[in-house]
Amino acid sequence: MIPRLELRNITKSYPGIVANDDISMSIMPGKIHAVLGENGAGKSTLMKIIYGVAQADSGEIWCDGKRIEAHNPASSRALGIEMVYQHFALFESVTVVENIALSVSSTFDLKTLARQITHLSNRYGMPIDPHRRVLDLSVGERQRVEIVRCLLQAPKLLILDEPTSVLAPQAVGKLFETLRQLAAEGCSIVYISHKLDEVQELCDSATVLRNGKVTGSAKPKETTSLELARMMVGSKLPEMRVVPSVPSARPVLEVRGLTSPARDKYGVALKNVSFEVHGGEIVGLAGVSGNGQADLIALLSGERRHADASVVRIDGKAAGHLNASERRGLGMAFVPEERLGRGAVPPHTLWENAVLTANRRGGLVRHGMVDRGKAAGFARDIIERFKVKANGPSSSAQSLSGGNLQKFIVGREIALKPKLFLVSQPTWGVDVGAAAFIRQNILDLSRAGSAVLVVSEELDELFEICDRLLVICQGQVSPPLIRTKTNREEVGLLMTGADRGNDIEERSEVAVQN
Amino acid sequence: MLYRIEQRPEPSASMRIAAPIIATALTIAVGSAMFAGLGYDPVSTLQAFFITPISSLNGLSELLLKASPLILIACGLAVGFRANVWNIGAEGQLIIGAIAACGVGLFYPNPESPILLPLMFVAGAAAGMAWAAIPAFLRARLNTNEILVTLMMTYIATLFLSWLVHGPWRDPAGFNYPQTALLPAAAMFEPFDYAYRVNSSVFITVVAVVLMWLFTDRSFLGYKMKVSGAAPHAARYAGFRESSAVWTGLLAGGAAAGIAGMAEVAGPLGQLSPQISPGYGFAAIIVAFIGRLNAFGIVLGGLLMSLLFLGGETVQMNLGLSSSLTRIFQGILLFFLLATDFFIFYRFRRVPEHA
């Protein structure tokens, strides 16, 4: 049988790094093939080469027995290769059908196209109303739009880049059904991921990448996740030490009846949010992205202030009206989800970035002057203690890889010995080894007495380190769940708004039928 | 072959040093070609531009005299520019500073008082700051665009000056010329030597350069402003107030320009007239950028800009070049200086051509 896609000795280097080093693999028609690897392993580069966004320095690509030379995305689509990016490329202010019409270069016949969209999306079990504006769609629905856009071209090979990173567990199940149906009809699928359980559930074969090289290929259903993880990481995985928590008597963070309008039209209004976090415990905030996490965390960190001071109390003191610096004075520290441009100033050096939040509590500023020596020492300590790969305190923040910069930012905030530690997406885009290291440090901080609030979209992470869980959905926060007394299904239902979520599904069904 | 511009992972240290050298070489090459093409001897033209103006003591005095306000104002402006606060109205702040200082000098009851000069200094700084405070307030409170407001306020200042010297402040004994009376001696900076015009106000600039360096490089307030300029979200994350960067940036520029205006009236001018500045307030913007918003870079930038002013005059007088030709030459130099700076942070990369 001729493989649908075959890569032979693909090599691609960028200045300073070899992103893909002599990579070969082949995918049969109708098979789902995983490309596994940590962030920075070279998965995205490889997909860009297959899709024609980037050109390999050497090596060959064969499709259905024919060699592809010097191609670009347009010629790839002509060959039946389609790609769904991790970050969607949709115009928010126009409707689904208009978005799709823009990318389908044939005739601009919206009526026919809308009919095709309705037909296809229903056939693959992911109904979508072609006349809704993208702005009003959830992230999961937007992904459907992207997939339907690809399906309209009747692809022979579909590439999906980390498709589940934005989905709730239930939506993941639905996506998998669609993909299996597609494969059964003969379409090959390349599934890029770093999530082992998903790959084991869905994929027929897998190629594992590390540092741009193939480190193994496997049949995921017959391989243990430990073996796969070793191929990905290369060394033995660190094990998490979870000590039982001893919560303090008095809460360190109290949120009482916090109601707030959306920060802008992309924000979400918060409705009567109340919870508390005690010293010595880790509370997780679960939720599908875009349900008010960003608004809530900005109000807790002081990046946004609230007219009513008493809605947020830190260490017993009303803090709702204080700015971030003043809240830090009360013992708060915060790791935001955007590292570059928010958690760190990209062109500034690491020691300068240490001054960003450690100016007062770290004692890096005296008499209004920055103590450069001390700041450099502080940065050096973080680099050593948190094993940050950097040339030294004078490296610029933007020269670090995402995972290393995250270690630096987490390290900086932990080094301030906060009473209250807020972390948003602590291990987003961070490789498995660094993620485990960061989680362990968060755990250690909490067991040393700090109150920790972790906002994350990864349920596995929350279940691994949290003592209690909160779920945010459409700006409302659930009552706390004890980690040991709940499960993924319960949390997943709360994430989708349980019965409310069903309502939405039904309504969109109706809209589609009309 | 196609080329793509991409950001360097780290700013290039060698380009940082090489950029001005390359720029100079390119300017000399292009300038020589231009002069030769128009029938002027390139060597003697370049010599008249760069060497003749500073080969006499008087030339050096003039160089410092013109560089001083440029450097002073550029230092003040750079404080704001680093935080993306774009005060381009230094010309207006200079004029208002000059008016206030001259007003004190003319109308203070005791024209021989030793505190007259210090009072004028304070008046000039305060007036410059007050003029800059208007756009600062509007930006901090109403989020107006400070570029437009500062620029428009410059026109107001120019017209106000014109009205004063044509009207209420016109020297009754001045044969109807639009100018004020001369300031008393106690209201003037002492020249080092009466043969030359340069005076002790250059020390103000020296102090300003050191202060600017301390502020931007060492102080926490300067650090906060740098963060606000480079990453506003990081500034909010850290809890630095945006409005404080706006106020500090505009007031620093206003104070520096106001003091420069005061030093002009209390130095080479000695009185107000409708044209008290040959565009120092605008040229200082260029000086700040040639100096890469850095105190010592600004010193070099100010000296170069001043030399260009003088060289331009010299070639016009000695060789009869037209003034537009000298301006083109100045433009070529500034263009190459700023263009080569681009390659400190960016580079060309060759990308293979494909279908």
Tell me the pLDDT tens digit for each residue of A383-401.
999 988 888 899 889 888 7
Question: Within 10 A of B323 (CB to CB), how many other CB atoms are there?
Answer: 11
Of all residues in chain A, the percent with pLDDT exceeding 90 is 40
Distance CA(A187)–CA(A164), nearest Å, equals 20
Distance CA(B252)–CA(B219), nearest Å, equals 14
Query: Would you give the DSSP letter of residue A245?
Result: P
* Distances from the Cα of A326 to the Cα of A250, A320, A332, B355, angstroms: 21, 11, 9, 57
* Distances from the Cα of A245 to the Cα of A74, A440, B102, angstroms: 56, 14, 73
In the chain, the amino acid numbered A480 is P
Distance CA(A414)–CA(A357), nearest Å, equals 11
Query: What sign has the CA pseudo-torsion B30, B34, B36, B40?
Result: negative
Q: Which residue has the higher pLDDT, A402 or A510?
A: A402
**Per-residue confidence (pLDDT) for residue A239, from 0 to 100:** 66
Cβ neighbors of B3 (< 8 A, separation 6 or more) are B348, B349, B350, B351
Range scoring the smallest mean pLDDT among A401-410, B6-15, B309-318, B334-343 = B6-15
Distance CA(A388)–CA(A402), nearest Å, equals 11
Beta bridge partners of A20: A12
Q: Is the pLDDT of residue A404 over 70?
A: yes
B302 by DSSP, 3-state: which? helix
Considering only the beta carbons, identify the residue of A326, A344, A345 that sits closest to B239.
Answer: A326
E strand or H helix at B348, and its extent?
strand B346-351
CB A344 within 8 A of CB A404: no
Does A324 sit within 8 Å of B236, measured CB to CB?
yes
Q: Which residue has the higher pLDDT, B330 or B283?
A: B283
Q: Which residues of B touch A13 (CB under 8 A)?
A: none
Q: Is the pLDDT of residue B205 over 90?
A: yes
Question: Which of A261-265, A361-365, B222-226 ranks highest by mean pLDDT?
Answer: B222-226
Q: What is the pLDDT of residues B122-155, one digit of tens each?
A: 999 999 999 999 999 999 999 999 999 999 999 9
Beta bridge partners of A369: A366, B219
In the chain, the amino acid numbered A224 is T
A333 by DSSP, 3-state: which? strand
Question: Per-residue pLDDT averaged across B326-336, rounded?
Answer: 86
Is residue B350 less than 8 Å (CB to CB) from chain A?
Answer: no
Q: What is the pLDDT of residues A262-271, one digit of tens each?
A: 887 778 899 9
* Residue of chain B whose Cα is closest to the Cα of A400: B9
Here the ipTM equals 0.79
Question: Per-residue pLDDT averaged across A137-141, rounded?
Answer: 77
Please write down the HEC assignment for all residues of A390-427. Answer: CCCCCCEHHHCCHHHHHHHHHHHHHHCCCCEEEEECCC
Does A356 sit within 8 Å of B220, measured CB to CB?
no
Does B231 sit within 8 Å of A369, measured CB to CB?
no
Q: Is the pLDDT of residue A485 over 70?
A: yes
* Residue A483 phi, psi (nearest 5): -55, -45
Distance CA(A121)–CA(A131), nearest Å, equals 13
Distance CA(A418)–CA(A358), nearest Å, equals 11
Beta bridge partners of B347: B6
Range scoring the smallest mean pLDDT among A157-161, A314-318, A386-390, B351-355 = B351-355
Cβ neighbors of A513 (< 8 A, separation 6 or more) are none
Residue A378 falls in which region: left (phi positive, over 0), alpha (psi -120 to 50) or beta: alpha
The DSSP annotation for B199-255 comes to BTTHHHHHHHHHHHHIIIIIBHHHHHHHHHHH-HHHHHHHT--HHHHHHHHHHHHHH
CB B282 within 8 A of CB B115: no
Does B9 sit within 8 Å of A399, measured CB to CB?
yes
Orientation angle between helical segments A225-233 and A432-447, nearest 10 degrees: 100
Is residue B83 less than 8 Å (CB to CB) from chain A?
Answer: no
Q: How confident is the model at residue B60 (pLDDT cuts 50, 70, 90)?
A: very high
**Per-residue confidence (pLDDT) for residue B11, from 0 to 100:** 76
**Per-residue confidence (pLDDT) for residue A511, from 0 to 100:** 37
Beta bridge partners of A477: A472
Which residue is listed with tokens 């990864």? Answer: A458
| Closest by Cα among B306, B327, B322, B311 to B70 | B306
**Per-residue confidence (pLDDT) for residue B108, from 0 to 100:** 93
CB A234 within 8 A of CB A36: no
**Per-residue confidence (pLDDT) for residue B352, from 0 to 100:** 61
Average pLDDT, chain B: 91
Question: Which of A164-168, A323-327, A505-509, B311-315 ranks highest by mean pLDDT?
Answer: A323-327
Cβ neighbors of A240 (< 8 A, separation 6 or more) are A436, A439, A440, A443, A464, A465
Range scoring the smallest mean pLDDT among A42-56, A184-198, A312-326, B4-18 = B4-18
Question: Per-residue pLDDT averaged across A500-512, rounded?
Answer: 39
Tell me the nearest-neighbour CA distance from A344 into chain B, angstroms. Answer: 6
**Per-residue confidence (pLDDT) for residue A390, from 0 to 100:** 85
Per DSSP, helices labelled H in chain B are 13-37, 42-50, 57-81, 90-107, 116-142, 146-166, 202-213, 220-230, 232-238, 242-264, 280-290, 295-318, 323-345
Does A334 sit within 8 Å of B233, measured CB to CB?
no
Q: Is the pLDDT of residue B353 over 60?
A: no
Distance CA(B257)–CA(B75), nearest Å, equals 10
**Per-residue confidence (pLDDT) for residue B354, from 0 to 100:** 52
Q: How confident is the model at residue A358 (pLDDT cuts 50, 70, 90)?
A: very high
Distance CA(A473)–CA(B31), nearest Å, equals 67
* Residue B282 phi, psi (nearest 5): -85, -40
Q: Is the pLDDT of residue B270 over 50?
A: yes
Q: Which residues of B touch A356 (CB under 8 A)?
A: 227, 234, 237-238
**Per-residue confidence (pLDDT) for residue A504, from 0 to 100:** 41
Range scoring the smallest mean pLDDT among A69-73, A440-444, A467-471 = A69-73
Task: Report the largest interatomic distance among the alpha carbons of chain B, rounded to a whole angstrom.
Answer: 83
Average pLDDT, chain A: 86
**Per-residue confidence (pLDDT) for residue B247, from 0 to 100:** 95
Of all residues in chain B, the percent with pLDDT exceeding 70 is 98
Q: Is the pLDDT of residue B61 over 90?
A: yes
Question: Per-residue pLDDT averaged across A311-329, rounded?
Answer: 94
**Per-residue confidence (pLDDT) for residue A506, from 0 to 100:** 38
Q: What is the pLDDT of residues A25-40, one digit of tens each?
A: 999 999 999 998 876 6
Distance CA(A12)–CA(A335), nearest Å, equals 34
Question: Which of A349-363, A431-445, B88-102 ranks highest by mean pLDDT?
Answer: B88-102
Q: What is the pLDDT of residues A207-255, one digit of tens each?
A: 998 888 898 888 988 888 778 877 887 765 566 677 788 888 899 999 9
Does A399 sit within 8 Å of B10, measured CB to CB?
yes
A133 by DSSP, 3-state: which? strand
Does A352 sit within 8 Å of B239, measured CB to CB?
no
Q: Is the pLDDT of residue A105 over 80?
A: no
Mutation to test the A interface, candidates B16, B219, B220, most A Cβ within 10 Å: B220
Burial class from Cβ neighbours inside 10 Å (0-12, 13-18, 19+) for residue A72 reads middle
| Closest by Cα among B265, B117, B123, B120 to B181 | B265
Tell me the nearest-neighbour CA distance from A323 into chain B, angstroms. Answer: 6
Is residue B234 less than 8 Å (CB to CB) from chain A?
Answer: yes
| Closest by Cα among B198, B188, B201, B189 to B111 | B188
Query: Would you give the DSSP letter of residue B268?
Result: I
Q: Is the pLDDT of residue A203 over 70?
A: yes
Q: How confident is the model at residue A414 (pLDDT cuts 50, 70, 90)?
A: very high
Q: Which residues of B touch A327 (CB under 8 A)?
A: 239
Beta bridge partners of B348: B5
| Closest by Cα among A372, A375, A442 to A406 | A442
Torsion, Cα A337 A343 A344 A350, to 10 degrees, reads: -110
In the chain, the amino acid numbered B302 is G
Orientation angle between helical segments A350-358 and A402-415, nearest 10 degrees: 40
Q: How confident is the model at residue B109 (pLDDT cuts 50, 70, 90)?
A: very high
Question: Per-residue pLDDT averaged across B81-107, rounded?
Answer: 95
Mutation to test the B interface, candidates A342, A401, A405, most B Cβ within 10 Å: A342
Q: Is the pLDDT of residue A502 over 50?
A: no
pTM: 0.74
Distance CA(A127)–CA(A510), nearest Å, equals 10
Q: Which residue has the higher pLDDT, B104 or A500?
A: B104
Question: Degrees (nearest 5) of the Cα angle B78, B80, B81?
Answer: 60
Does B354 sit within 8 Å of A343, measured CB to CB?
no
CB A321 within 8 A of CB A306: yes
Query: Would you give the DSSP letter of residue B52?
Result: G
Beta bridge partners of A258: A273
| Closest by Cα among B264, B277, B290, B283 to B327 | B283
Cα A333 versus chain centre, distance = 22
**Per-residue confidence (pLDDT) for residue B43, from 0 to 100:** 92
* Residue of chain B whose Cα is closest to the Cα of A369: B219
Considering only the beta carbons, identify the residue of A328, A334, A345 that sits closest to B227.
Answer: A345
Question: Per-residue pLDDT averaged across A404-421, rounded?
Answer: 94
Does B227 sit within 8 Å of A368, measured CB to CB?
no
Q: Is the pLDDT of residue A500 over 70?
A: no
Q: Which residue has the higher pLDDT, A237 or A161?
A: A161
Cα B66 versus chain centre, distance = 10
Please write down the HEC assignment for all residues of A377-388. Answer: HHHHHHHHHCCC
Beta bridge partners of A396: A349
Mutation to test the B interface, candidates A72, A370, A413, most B Cβ within 10 Å: A370
Torsion, Cα B334 B339 B345 B346, to 10 degrees, reads: 180
Distance CA(B34)–CA(B26), nearest Å, equals 12
Q: Which residues of B touch A343 (CB under 8 A)?
A: 234, 237
Q: Which residues of A touch B349 (CB under 8 A)?
A: 15
A187 by DSSP, 3-state: which? coil
* Residue of chain A whose Cα is closest to the Cα of B214: A369
Question: Degrees (nearest 5) of the Cα angle A157, A161, A165?
Answer: 140
Distance CA(A368)–CA(B189), nearest Å, equals 33
Q: Per the structure block, which two tokens stand in for B123?
A: 């008046």
Tell me the nearest-neighbour CA distance from B202 into chain A, angstroms. Answer: 27
Q: Is the pLDDT of residue A501 over 50?
A: no
**Per-residue confidence (pLDDT) for residue A70, from 0 to 100:** 74
Question: Per-residue pLDDT averaged across A469-492, rounded?
Answer: 89
